[in-house]
Each structure stands twice: as C-alpha cells, then as structure tokens.
Structure 1
Amino acid sequence: MKIISKALLVYGGFFLCWFLLAQVDFVSFFEIEQNKVFAEDKIGDIIWDEIERNENVIYDDSIVSTLDSLLLPLCEANNIERDSLKVHIVKNSQVNAFAMPDNHLVVYSGLIEASKNEQALLGVLGHEMAHIEKNHVMKKLSKEIGFSVLVSMATGANGSQIAEVLNTLTSSAYDRSLEREADMESVRYMLKANIDPRPFADFMYELSLDNEMHKYTYLITTHPEAEDRAKYILNYLKGKKIKSKAILSKEAFNEFKENVAKNRE
C-alpha cells in the first residue's frame, strides 16, 4: 500500500505540474521578453542619437581613455564587461550622470569637474552602473511612460516621445528603494575594487549643503534626500575594514579635470 500511495503521489504531482504549465502562454511570454529587448535596444539608440545631435560630446582620446582607466578596475572587480557599457562624456555644466536603455551611461563634464577625487566620481558612476545592471532604467520608463508606448516608440518615435523619455531619464528620480539599492550596490562595487566609498558619501553630503551649486546640481535635485543617503552609506561602512588603492595619482586626476574644463571652453 505504501508503494502504491507513493506512486499515486508521484503521478499526481506530475499531472499537477503539467496542468499548471499548460496554463502558461509561453508564446506570449517570450514575445513580451523579445519586445522588451527590442524596445530597450532601439530606445537607447534613439535617445543617444538625439543627444549626439544636440549636445557637445567629448571625443578627446586623452579624456576618454582616462575615464576608461578609472572605470576598468570597478568593472573587473565586479565581473562587469567594460565593453558592455556605452560610456559618453557630454559637455554640460550640470553635475550629473545618468543611465539610459541599452547600457548607455552619460557623464556630464560638470560632474567630473565638481568631483574632488576619483572616489567621489566613481561612487556616482557606480550608482548609475547599478541602475543598468539591476535593470532599473526600463523599470522606471515602463512605470512612468508605459511599456506599450515604449514598444511603439521603438518602431517609430516622434520628437515629443523622445523629449519625454530624455526628460524622464535626466530630471526625475527613481523610486526611493531603487535609489538606495543603486547606492549600496555602488558601495559594494567600490569595496570589491579596493576603492574607498566614503568620499562618495561626502560628495553627496557636500552637494546637498551647497546652495550656490543647486542650480547646476541635477544629481541632487533629481536624487532626493542626499544627506540621508550619505549618512546611510557611512553607517553601513562603520566597522568595515576598507582597503583603498588609488587608480590615478592626485596630480593625474586634477590634470584630468583640467583637461575636461579646457575641452568645455
């Protein structure tokens, strides 16, 4: 009887699983996933083309290669393919960086110039990398604009749709939970790469207090509660052994900033 009971349980479990799987519309599921990938790829290209047409992009080899040398250790320590990130430097006085669909990461020259050290800059860039790695970008756009609109846009965007997406990416914050997740993921990226995250927290705190810079500081105005976030990071780091290894010398980092400032003139 025990053997028969076990057999009945096995067969019953099998048919239950079969019944549940039969209720799933796999065609629709995979179609949705394909649409997501298609939309993300196309929207990323569309938005970047719009930025490239209307903004001054820095292509200077020295500047681009220096930023790459800063990002590479962060990527390598966290198993992130550097080539998977499409990093762009744009001449803009705003203290900001933002992630876009299809792994685009836009860095404004104002952010580089405002960063006192490489750790502060890498903390912000790590935050945006986390938005990319955690798929926060499409979650944000799907919630605020609508997935059906994004798919439609990918097949033929008009100017107003492009403007709406770009404005959503550059001047509105993510949900608080996503912002905190990106903050803490950036901190973990830095710790794994032996980069001290404390200057990242200090940078946010200083910007939140600098009233004169607020008109240029979209990083703070679009990322609310910066002071609280800075304190949260510092509390998380209490008691941790922090290894810190400079990527660039202080002189080399300042030269990098100066080159960016000259290129912007």
Structure 2
Amino acid sequence: MKNTVIQGLVILLSFFLIWFGFSQLDYMKFFKIKERTLNVENKLGDLIWDQISRTEDVVLNDSITKTLDSLLLPICNANGIERDSLKVHIVKKDEINAFALPNKHLVVYTGLIIDCKKQEALQGVLGHEIAHIENNHVMKKLSKELGFSVLMTAASGGKGGQMIREVFKTLSSSAYDRTLEKEADMTSVDYMIKANIDPKPMADFMYKMALDNQMPKGLAWISTHPDSEERAKYILEYIKGKKLTIKPTLIEKDWNHFQEQVKDL
C-alpha cells in the first residue's frame, strides 16, 4: 500500500514537472515571437522615418515644435501616455494629413495645422493617431495588408528600400478598417474628455471635410479615413448629454500666432 502511494505521488509529481516544463517552453516561444515582432516594428518605423526625413522638408523651428508639443501634453498627461515615448515630427507639406508609423512615430503635415480652424480639432486628429499607436493598430494594419514576412524583409532592408516605400504608402494613403477607425475615434474623444478638451471641433472638422463629395487630393487625412460624416455623427452622439469640463490649451492669441508661423514657413 505504501509503495502504491509513493508510486502515485511520483507519477503525479512527474506529470506536474512535465506540464511545468512545457508551459515554460511555450512562454519562452511566446516572448521570442513578441520580441521579434517588436524588433521588426522598431526597425520599420525608424527606416520609414529616415526615408521621409531625407526626402521631405522637416520643420525644426523650436517655437513651432514646442507649441505643437504643448497641444499634445494635456492629452498625454491626462491619459497616462508617456510623452517622450512618442516621436512627433512636423513635415512642411500642403496635404491635410497626419499619420502614425511603427515604433511610435507620429507625422504631422503643416497643411493639417493650417486647415484646422480650432486647436481642439487638431488635438482630436492627433489623439486619433496616438490611439492608433497605443492600440497597436499600425502593425495590425500592416500585418493584415502586407503580411508579416513582407514586413520582416522590409525591416531587414531588402530590395533596396523599395519595400519600405511600399510600407509607407500603405500607412499614409490607405484607410484602416472601420473597426479600428471607430476605436481610434472614440479613444481620441475619451482622451480629450479626460484632458478637459472639447471634442466637438473634431466632429466639426470631419463634417466640414465631408461636405465636399469630390474631395480634392490635398484632403489626405479625410480621404484615407472614409465615412467622415457618419463618424462625426457618432462622435456627437457619444458626447451628447455628457457634462464636459472644457479648458482651451492655448489662448486664442497663441493659437493664431502658431498657425501664422506655420503659414510663413
């Protein structure tokens, strides 16, 4: 009887040791895959930005970059987002556009800054792109549309930069799917509410852009984010009845000066 009990305990212990070993192996595999994915994401983002910085007119004016940063800070501070983790770049370009890249790069075109009538509209767009970054939408989109093997090849510098250009084109000129877009919209609205920023100008911005059925090419942010009128409506519906505490980030004079500086570039 005693031997039977001991044998049973040995078998039970062996089972748990084997289970533990396999579970650890799975975790190691998981973390290796996760690490490899993160490495690909980091390399992709840096390679794409390197290509943009060599071919586009990057704005380095301290006054302009610091003012944009002051518009971002309330969103980051109120929502537990580490500001220094975001790599924010301003590019001198007439297109009304902003887009997220892998490795937390966020590119803002001067055309967007100039076109936004209110600072809150710009903050809403920036919040939308930050939501894409924070919710890992960027890599989800690329993996779905291009495939992870293509992204690995691009990150390794394959085909002389041609694949990097293809990745960049996918991010800057084609839409996320409806689910990810709505998630980014609503996340941005929540960001703004927590930061005491009025979300209504974001909806107004979308609605204004959607009024022109034949959108000019310059309205890149709207053309790559379809159904703008519908999105404006569900944002307004979401905030209806909410008690909002609103405090502009910049005084009107400073916002106007910021836009004038950008126009004069």
8 A contact 1:96–1:110 mirrored in 2: yes
Query: Does 2:248 correspond to 1:242?
Result: no
Q: Gaps spanning 5+ residues in structure 1: where?
A: 1-7
**Larger Rg, first or second structure (1 or 2):** 2
Give the Cα separation in 1 of the matches to 2:245 and 2:24: 52
Q: 1:25: Cα distance to partner?
A: 3.2
8 A contact 1:35–1:151 mirrored in 2: no
Q: 1:156: Cα distance to partner?
A: 2.1
Q: 1:79: Cα distance to partner?
A: 0.7
The letter for the 2-side match of 1:255 is H
The letter for the 1-side match of 2:89 is H
Who is 1:176 aligned against?
178
Query: Does 2:239 correspond to 1:232?
Result: no
Who is 1:5 aligned against?
none
Who is 1:185 aligned against?
187
Who is 1:55 aligned against?
56
SS of corresponding position for 2:89: strand
Give the Cα separation in 1 of the matches to 2:217 and 2:79: 34
Name which of 206, 209, 219 aligns with 2:208.
Answer: 206
8 A contact 1:112–1:257 mirrored in 2: yes
Q: Structure 1 residues 186, 42: closer, same or farther in 2, change over 3 A?
A: same
Matched positions, count? 255
Q: 1:28: Cα distance to partner?
A: 2.9
Question: Could you list the per-position Cα deviations for residues 206-241 of structure 1 after superposition, in whole angstroms to 9, with x for gaps in the alignment?
Answer: 011135753210111110100000000000011101
8 A contact 2:95–2:109 mirrored in 1: yes
Q: Give the ranges of 4+ consecutive aligned residues of structure 1 lying more than 6 Å apart after TM superposition.
A: none
- When structure 1 is superposed on structure 2, of 127-136 and 19-28 the one drifting more is 19-28
Who is 2:110 aligned against?
109
SS of corresponding position for 2:100: strand
The aligned runs of 1:141-160 (5 Å cut-off) are 141-157=142-158, 158-160=160-162
Query: Does 2:134 correspond to 1:133?
Result: yes
Give the Cα separation in 1 of the matches to 2:17 and 2:219: 57
Q: Calculate the aligned-residue CA RMSD, in Å.
A: 2.3
Q: Structure 1 residues 22, 85: closer, same or farther in 2, change over 3 A?
A: closer
